[in-house]
A = this chain, B = another copy of it.
Amino acid sequence: MSATRTTAHELSLIDRYWRAANYLSVGQIYLLDNPLLRDPLKPEHIKPRLLGHWGTTPGLNFIYAHMNRIIREQDANVIYICGPGHGGPGMVANTYLEGTYSEIYPDISESAQGMQKLFKQFSFPGGIPSHAAPETPGSIHEGGELGYALMHAYGAAFDNPDLLVACVIGDGEAETGPLAASWHSNKFLDPVRDGAVLPILHLNGYKIAGPTLLGRTSDEDLKKLFEGYGYEPFFVEGHDPEPMHRQMAETLDVVVARIRTIQKEARDGTTVDGVPRWPMIVLRSPKGWTGPKEVDGKRVEGFWRAHQVPVSNCRGDEGHRKILDDWMRSYDPEDLFDADGRLKQELRDLAPRGERRMGANPHANGGLLRKELVTPAIRDYQVRIEKRGAAMVQSTEILGHYLRDTMTLNADQANFRIFGPDETESNRLGSLFEVTDRVWMEKIEPYDVHLSRNGRVMEVLSEHLCQGWLEGYLLTGRHGLFSCYEAFIHIIDSMFNQHAKWLKVSRELEWRKPISSLNYLLTSHVWRQDHNGFSHQDPGFVDLVANKRADTVRVYLPPDANTLLWVGDHCLKTWDRVNVIVAGKQPEPQWLNMDEAIAHCEIGAGIWDWAGTEGDAVAPDVVMACAGDVPTMETLAAVMVLREAIPELKIRVVNVVDLMALQSTDQHPHGLSDEDFDRMFTTDRPVIFAYHGYPYLIHRLTYKRTNHRNIHVRGFIEEGTTTTPFDMTVLNELDRFHLAIEAIERIPGLKDKVVHVLEALRGKLQEHRHYVGVHGEDMPEIQNWTWSDPV
């Protein structure tokens, strides 16, 4: 390794800066008052509840200080992803030292008084959380749930050629599955078009109560592991600060130069194909570095006991208070802060300036950089409806055309990507490949199709990576869509949860600017899993989504292509939300022309007059409601069955596109008013509701409505296997015959009059079962069924 350009003097300044960050970190965990330790430490200076995580913090501070030097010397454009986000005090300390914190929160000024407030607010009611969070300047990553740091880093780097993302990964986090897969992201990063990610694996050796796997792995094996992943690993190891500063500075000089070389050669066109050997750093430093070595005779520094609060009860225990006092004074605050409590000038000079400060880099507040997505007019893609239900169209294919042109329109902005686990083509979005490719940095064979180094479709068989990359991409101000098999979106349930939480908190912070919504297109859904079976049948993601705050989530179930076009277009234009779109990819009948689709979607639910038979009756005998493409088709088929069998029946058809319309206005901004809901669903007639997912959700959304007791929901009741499309609906009693039977049974006084009809319908179900068992396909009358309008 070449000698660093950094002088001993510079390193000693960096060491002091690091000590200042460590001092402020400890202060946040422990102190209510006496921030500069001008007075002897007394019980009342100490917080009654000691909360937070010290163990990882000095390492985070060490990296931050060294990255500051790189930024200053090279005018580098760097953001910092703090995987061990529970080291929140470190992130807060550093953004305070560089001045960002006080600019955003003027009340936390650069003074003794400000420092006291800085300390007090940490993990304090009404203050800030203990983790890096939306409240933390410079952060796009909450470290609460571990596993997503590196995918966020790559997501941020895509299409940001000048950006360098320094990503710290704790050795705890490195044990998670999502993180283990994230290392492969290097195979999707184009050195020409994208920025760089510098992974820094921070091995402090311990989790909460035991050693870490990688912490106990030899350097030899680690080197092989990361070379096997395709990186060039560099090691920085030790505990004595002075040589550690020198090693870190030298290593950073080398690795940043490597990154620049890779980029330059790629951009000059002098490299051959293949995945560049990007550098990464393995930093081994003691857990709780510079903290108490022992407490009560037990090992703390360099052990898991340093994980949270290394010395407890400093209010009540004088000995412990002495340990804290010694510890904090070991950083020599008078050497760091002036009489007013401001960082001394020679240390202030170590921080970058303006937007180069990692806490102030606009990429970490992506809304600042977000450019509106340019979208084409949806009418240009509409399906013409000459006869309702006649055209059999793959709705997602139509959306694919719209997405293709959206991709083209934003090619110059380079701020739109599609993410999915190897399912773009399977989900019928293949027309995207007319204008772009799958991104692929490994070898490309002559017979490969739609692969290139600069494609804008991101496919990897990891829903975690798709989600994490997209989150990083959105959080840095871009746009995207995640298309996924419906059942397997549950793989990222917890990531959705965390992102929704991030959005909820961000929306409450004026300085965080809106980012584009996270849009899911869930297709290959429960009702059409022809090649697979029960394992691929789960519509429950929307139940999870519906738990989140109403201002953050939307769920759409467009019944055909034109409604899907409206919904897709709408979702791509929203911000600070999670939008879930569930739509089929198989050929299905089309119902609404574009004008009708727009009007229907804008309200979110509506009566389909053309489908019902109520005419000008005062009220219908029954409301046949539906949400989802297959339930809509079965409902309309049931209406035809009913009107043919019992012509005098007054049937109303209601279709719901926007699931949140079912809630009341006080529960959700998209909710129908009670009056509108009652007008639509009546106050006393039976409602047979065919729903795409688990039936409970409809009850949960409507339990406050007047007519709730008469709403009878059919949906997925966990019956499934590899079978025919119609048989899936029969197994779950969502088919036309079951719906018609239930309607007859629920209309007061009807069933005894039409016993023959009920018998005929039950006969149809038997006939179906027999037919599919023999032929392995649905009866011709089912396969060839088409809608006809009532006369």
Binding site for B on A (CB under 8 A): 32, 47-49, 51-53, 86, 120, 123-131, 133, 142-147, 172-173, 175-184, 187, 207-213, 216-217, 221-230, 299, 303, 308, 422-426, 438, 440, 442-443, 445, 447-448, 450-451, 459-462, 464-465, 487-488, 490-491, 493-494, 497-498, 501, 504-505, 530-536, 538, 540, 543-544, 546-549, 694, 696, 699-700, 703, 708, 718, 721-724, 727, 772-773, 775-777
Contacts and interface: CB of A to CB of B under 8 A. Distances in A.
Given A129-B721, A224-B225, A700-B700, 12 more contacts: A125-B773, A145-B536, A172-B422, A175-B181, A180-B184, A207-B461, A208-B423, A225-B228, A303-B447, A491-B493, A498-B535, A547-B696
A686 to B, nearest CB: 15
A328 B182 CA distance: 42
Contacts of A216: 442-443
A131 B548 contact: no
B175 A462 contact: yes
A253 to B, nearest CB: 26
Contact of A125 (B184, B222, B772): B772
A109 to B, nearest CB: 20
A777 B49 contact: yes
A126 B505 contact: no
B228 A718 contact: no
A490 to B, nearest CB: 4
A133 to B, nearest CB: 7
B708 A210 contact: no
Contacts of A490: 493-494, 497, 544
Contact of A177 (B120, B181, B696): B181
Contact of A227 (B224, B459, B464, B775): B224
B210 A144 contact: no
A784 to B, nearest CB: 14
Given A175-B184, A177-B464, A213-B460, A533 B129 contact: yes
A131 B461 contact: no
Contacts of A230: 217, 221
A225 B501 CA distance: 36
Contact of A531 (B53, B229, B422, B699): B53
Nearest to A448: B211
Given A208-B425, A228-B224, A497-B540, A126 B461 contact: no
B299 A447 contact: yes
Contact of A703 (B217, B221, B424, B703): B703
A619 B14 CA distance: 73
A131 B228 contact: no
Most chain B CB within 10 A, of A125, A460, A501, is at A125
Contacts of A48: 775-777
Contacts of A128: 722
Contacts of A173: 461
B547 A491 contact: no
Nearest to A445: B211
Contacts of A425: 208-209
A360 B348 CA distance: 72
26 contacts: A49-B530, A49-B724, A51-B722, A123-B533, A125-B776, A129-B533, A131-B533, A131-B535, A133-B533, A133-B534, A144-B535, A145-B488, A145-B536, A175-B462, A176-B181, A177-B181, A179-B181, A210-B451, A211-B445, A213-B442, A213-B460, A216-B443, A217-B230, A227-B228, A540-B547, A700-B700
Contacts of A538: 497
Given A180-B180, A491-B494, A534 B501 contact: yes
A46 to B, nearest CB: 10
A584 to B, nearest CB: 17
A120 B772 CA distance: 12
A209 B424 contact: yes
Nearest to A463: B176
A207 B438 CA distance: 13
A467 B532 CA distance: 24
B228 A222 contact: yes
Nearest to A693: B547
A222 B777 CA distance: 45
A272 to B, nearest CB: 14
A549 B717 CA distance: 8
A177 B175 contact: no
B549 A718 contact: yes
Nearest to A126: B773
A535 B501 contact: yes
A144 B532 contact: yes
Contact of A533 (B130, B213, B299): B130
A180 B462 CA distance: 10
Contact of A52 (B145, B227, B531): B531
Nearest to A447: B299
A535 B500 CA distance: 10
A182 to B, nearest CB: 8
Contacts of A423: 208-209
Contacts of A178: 177
Given A177-B178, A494-B493, A547-B694, A211 B451 contact: yes
A48 B725 CA distance: 14
A173 B421 CA distance: 11
Contact of A532 (B86, B147, B775): B86
A177 B185 CA distance: 12
A130 B547 contact: no
Contacts of A543: 543-544, 547
A146 B699 contact: no
